[in-house]
Amino acid sequence: MGKTKLLFITHEMSPFLEITKISEITRQLPQAMQDKGFEIRILMPRFGNINERRNRLHEVIRLSGMNIVIGENDNPLIIKVASIPSARMQVYFLDNEDYFQRKHVFNDGKGKFYADNDERTIFFCKGALETVKKLGWSPDIVHCHGWMTSLVPAYLKTIYKDDPTFKDSKIVYSLYPHSFNETLGADFAKKAVMKGMQEADTVNYADASSVALDKAAIDYADAVVFGAETIHDEVLNFVKNSDKPTLDYNSTLDLENYYNFYQEVASDILISVA
């Protein structure tokens, strides 16, 4: 039996981008699981404030060159990679000049939420899955961190459900504190529909709020992780009513608990871990 293959999709990771506690978790957790024998891949956006020279990012020509369609627009996807030598891990970065080459992450210099955060999210989620397909690597578990990954569970359970790369993949979604007070716009759910999907597949995302994104992702996920002590009450109640297997928050980041949880998820022995 081969190694368990674990894919991390996140919008931030230390040392490349440190905004919230997510960056610490997505730095420590993959290394710990790799040390325990898992095969790891990590994907994140190449936001403009990630220093390419300092972090030694370079383009992966064989993976670049795809276009991600959003509405009527073809958006070029460039893939870059960097290594963390001390961890023997590589991180793949998804780049696009229009969506990511700017000085700030989700809000402009005056604190205004970017109007195209909806399309940036769609581009990242679809682009991440297309990149994994091009890698020719089939993950046993896809672990999504943060609201920007919230469409991944929907895509995996609809247009990618019969794809050889993902048909046996289990989805874990990590919850974090309320992320933003704005919305991704009235057209987000409609824009998120990709060829081969129905509008009903994204209807739960229609509110386009941080809470709606989390709830919709939970609905499609196979298991849920509480990545922080404080979770929005509405989301917390939704998880409880969903009867999804959960891993409770642990302030010490108990990595052994994660290891056991992943093993159970991969083996279909799904129980909640306190």
Mean pLDDT for all residues in the chain: 91
Instruction: Kindly indicate the confidence band of residue 267, based on its pLDDT and cuts at 50, 70 and 90.
Output: confident
Distance from C-alpha of 261 to C-alpha of 247, rounded to nearest angstrom: 7
Does some domain include residue 160? yes
- The answer to whether residue 273 is domain-embedded is no
Residue 272 pLDDT > 70: no
Predicted pLDDT at 188: 95
Give the ranges where the chain is alpha helix by DSSP (H). 22-35, 52-55, 97-100, 117-135, 152-157, 188-192, 210-220, 233-242, 255-266
Q: Is residue 144 part of a domain?
A: yes
Q: Is residue 100 part of a domain?
A: yes
What is the domain extent for residue 130?
5-266
**Would you give the DSSP letter of residue 91?**
E
Q: Does a structural domain hold residue 274?
A: no
pLDDT band at 1 (very low <50, low <70, confident <90, very high): low
Q: What is the pLDDT of residue 222?
A: 95
How many domains would you assign to the chain?
1
Quick check: is 50 in a domain? yes
In a domain, 57, yes or no: yes
AA letter at 33: M
SS3 content of the chain, % helix, strand, coil (to 5): 35, 20, 45
CATH of the domain at 52: 3.40.50.2000
pLDDT in tens, 36-47: 999 999 999 999
Task: Tell me, yes or no, whether 272 lies in a domain.
Answer: no
- 180-217 pLDDT, tens digit each: 889 999 999 999 998 889 999 999 999 999 999 999 99
